[in-house]
Structure 1
Amino acid sequence: MSAPVSRAVLLQLARLGDLVQSLPVIAALKAGGIGSLDLVCPAPFAPLASLFSQIDRVLPWDGLKWRTWADLWKRAPDAVVDEVNAYIRTLTDEPYPVAYNLNQHPRAVLAAYLLADRVIGPGEGGPLRKDMPPWAAYLRRVAQDRSGNRVHLADAFCGLCRVRATGRAPHVPAREVRVPTDLEAVGQDDGVWVAVVVGAGDRDRCVPPEVWTTWITALLDSEERAKVVLVGGRAERERGYVIQDGVAPLLQGRVWDAVGRTDVRELAGLLSRCHWVIGADTGPLHLGAATGAKAMGWYFARARVHETGPYGEGHWVWQAEVPLMTDDRPCPARAHDRRSSARWPVKESVELLLTGSCRSLVDGWSLWRSRLDRLGAYFTVANGPSIPDRSREAIWERLCGAPCVQ
């Protein structure tokens, strides 16, 4: 970016976690001198994005409409073109000088060209070009071969947009967001409040309900002032019931069930009232970290700490080094996995949450702590030196073919 841009739009059409992890690139673009920055995101996430203080205007993207138009295209292309043009005019009266695109999907490339005169990021060579800019090609290669990448996804988004991370953790100011009346007491009294993310978008990233039941019981038994808030989407309500039903009756009064009872904006408000959020690599975990909670992630399946660990300083990630039983094949929390010698880090993570350290690790898991420097987020082994992997610097030098704003 050779000169400051007066007006631009950023496109993030992926999941909740990706939207939250777009906050560092938003901050970097604003620090680079952009006067006005708007955001295109999926319509269900627009209420949350309205909390992003550095975004001037949120443009909700109606994915269902676009799917309908795609189905109609072969039968009535002229009608589709007219409807698309009318839709774009509801988003902006005139094209943006620049669109920063964070997604490699063709629909995002199309949207970027419909909204702006110039595109930076995937598709910047043209809407029909197959070749990709260096950072986009790098991210695709990492996704395909699961290489030892040490650049966080949020910082790679910065690379896509030709800026560098600011080295500061993003923040979503959600403390004043209203929550359902019966949840207003969350976070109001003494003790540690812990949000437990009961599910995940992918089934292979779901911690089995019986593991969460065991973990919650261990926490509440260990700290009499601790309280738990179960969070998740509407599709996970049954999972929430199963988890809560497994907790002893004497402890259930300290478990608050908010699963499926908040929209995404209210979820941000609820998480901002908690001291901790714990879960798999999923959107609410990243949202909790951005609202000010300390995050503890259990990463397994395809989740990798260095790529998508909670962004900021002082978060924790337990990284599974061997396969684990998940929803499709439940594994008792206190038993050994039938396919490996690993078990879930139940008592160890409770100890870490309550004391800031744990006396021993778990076979089959490594423990990592999040840190920040001028290149963004990185993770170091617990109790190890806080020195970042030098490969990050080399990757930035190699991939910044165009100048990156500091």
Structure 2
Amino acid sequence: MRALVVRLDSFGDVLLAGPAVRAVAARADHVTLLCGPRGAEAARLLPGVDEVLVWEAPWEGFDPPPVVPADIDALLARLRAGAHDTALILTSFHQSPLPAALLLRLAGVARIGADSTDHPGRLLDVRHRRADGRHEVEAALDTAAALGFPRPPGDDGRPRVLPPPDTGALTGPGPYVVLHPGASAPARAWGRHRCAEAVALLTDAGHRVVVTGGPDETDLTRRVSGDLAVDLGGRTDPRTLAGVLRMADVVISANTGPAHLAAAVGTPVVSLFAPVVPAERWAPYGVPVILLGDQSAPCADTRALTCPVPGHPCLDEVTGQDVVRAVHKLIQERPS
């Protein structure tokens, strides 16, 4: 059986789809993961994926591309060449799978399943309705099971990635905690002054701190690190970042891709979680987590990209000392 899994949005979303991908891979001979550009690197980290197909959908992302018939025709040609017998479309609770289902039907995929609240017409062979309050990992596994891909025996259902490299040469010797100050959406980011405060207080408490960030976040990581932390801003690709996070005692991060990557390598997370999306669906999954941030703030469940409340009270009221206490609690509770 040649199976196709579709998850078209971000890095973290693709990581959270990983357990469902493994469920498909346990019963399929070949698994292709169709994802968007922002999720492609995460797709290449997932166990069970044989091929990654990248396409930027005109209904996904903060700034989606225009609808270009030639692009759609090229995608359909690639999908037809894949000769997929079945497809699992994974979406978030607020998204519709039907645009992707229409393309897959046009590409000749015989059996298609998805989580959908919309009437699917002839687009879906299996329409699953997720239970209330299910985390995105659990909802994806439920949808896979409805299509005939139950979680394999012995699989714990947690996000995982392929083994990362040794990154000791980057981080230096000895234990450390990671602070990742950036976020894909401004509404989810902890303030730079708070991040710098946390670095200083963690250092005073005897922790070695490693600050991580992407190539476009080097100014942020430099300012947050100061003279106290190891600054790895712009120095890690996703696979290397996985290695850095795997060896950390704790990772401190907003609700963004590296928080889910930390969970996928088994590291506890202090989650600075702005409630613009529900924590019950999007918190790091499968590892010890301490959630910081006012989950009842006025911005709750708005899915806003910038905080609609002046002063960003849901996160800026979290102090560096709050983070230090959370780090100490997770380290004390971590099995030796």
Which band: TM-score by shorter chain? 0.7 to 0.9
1:402 is matched with which residue? Answer: none
2:174 to 167, 174, 190: 190
After superposition, give the CA deviation of every residue in 1:211-252 in whole Å (9 maximum; x if it has no partner).
Answer: 1111111111001xx22222233443333233234xxxxxx2
2:257 is matched with which residue? Answer: 283
SS at match of 1:270: helix
Alignment CA distance shift 1:313-1:119 (3 Å): same
1:95 is matched with which residue? Answer: 83
SS at match of 2:170: coil
After superposition, give the CA deviation of every residue in 1:9-68 in whole Å (9 maximum; x if it has no partner).
Answer: 10110111110100121223334x23322211124543442232211222222458x977
1:349 deviates by 3.0
Q: Conserved in 2, the CA contact under 8 Å of 1:175 and 1:273?
A: no
Q: Aligned partner of 2:46: which letter?
A: F
Q: Aligned partner of 1:42: which letter?
A: G
1:362 is matched with which residue? Answer: none
Alignment CA distance shift 1:240-1:35 (3 Å): same
Instruction: Give the count of matched residue pairs.
Output: 309
SS at match of 2:129: helix
1:8 deviates by 0.6
In structure 2, list runs of 5 or more residues that go unmatched.
300-305
Alignment CA distance shift 1:349-1:324 (3 Å): farther
Alignment CA distance shift 1:28-1:128 (3 Å): closer
2:109 to 105, 116, 119: 116
1:383 is matched with which residue? Answer: none
TM-score of the superposition, structure 2-length normalised? 0.77
SS at match of 1:320: coil
2:14 is matched with which residue? Answer: 19
1:293-332 mapped onto 2 (5 Å cutoff): 293-323=267-297, 329-330=310-311
2:325 is matched with which residue? Answer: 351
Q: Conserved in 2, the CA contact under 8 Å of 1:21 and 1:153?
A: yes
1:112-151 mapped onto 2 (5 Å cutoff): 112-113=104-105, 114=107, 116-122=109-115, 125-126=120-121, 133-135=127-129, 149-151=132-134
Measure the CA separation in 1 of the matches of 2:254 and 2:122.
35
1:54 is matched with which residue? Answer: 48
State the percentage of identical aligned residues: 22
Q: Aligned partner of 1:308: which letter?
A: W
1:134-283 mapped onto 2 (5 Å cutoff): 134-135=128-129, 149-161=132-144, 162=146, 163=149, 165=151, 166-176=155-165, 184-186=169-171, 188-191=172-175, 193-223=176-206, 226-245=207-226, 252=227, 254-283=228-257
SS at match of 2:81: coil
SS at match of 2:53: strand
Q: Aligned partner of 1:231: which letter?
A: T
Q: Aligned partner of 1:70: which letter?
A: V
Q: Conserved in 2, the CA contact under 8 Å of 1:48 and 1:268?
A: no
1:97 deviates by 0.8
In structure 1, list runs of 5 or more residues that go unmatched.
1-5, 74-79, 139-148, 246-251, 332-336, 359-368, 370-406
Q: Conserved in 2, the CA contact under 8 Å of 1:351 and 1:357?
A: no
TM-score of the superposition, structure 1-length normalised? 0.65
Alignment CA distance shift 1:272-1:91 (3 Å): farther
SS at match of 1:313: coil
1:209 deviates by 0.6
Please tell me whether Structure 1 or Structure 2 has the larger radius of gyration of its CA atoms.
1
SS at match of 1:296: strand
Measure the CA separation in 2 of the matches of 1:111 and 1:231.
38
SS at match of 1:70: coil
Q: Conserved in 2, the CA contact under 8 Å of 1:277 and 1:289?
A: no
Alignment CA distance shift 1:263-1:185 (3 Å): closer
Alignment CA distance shift 1:232-1:109 (3 Å): farther
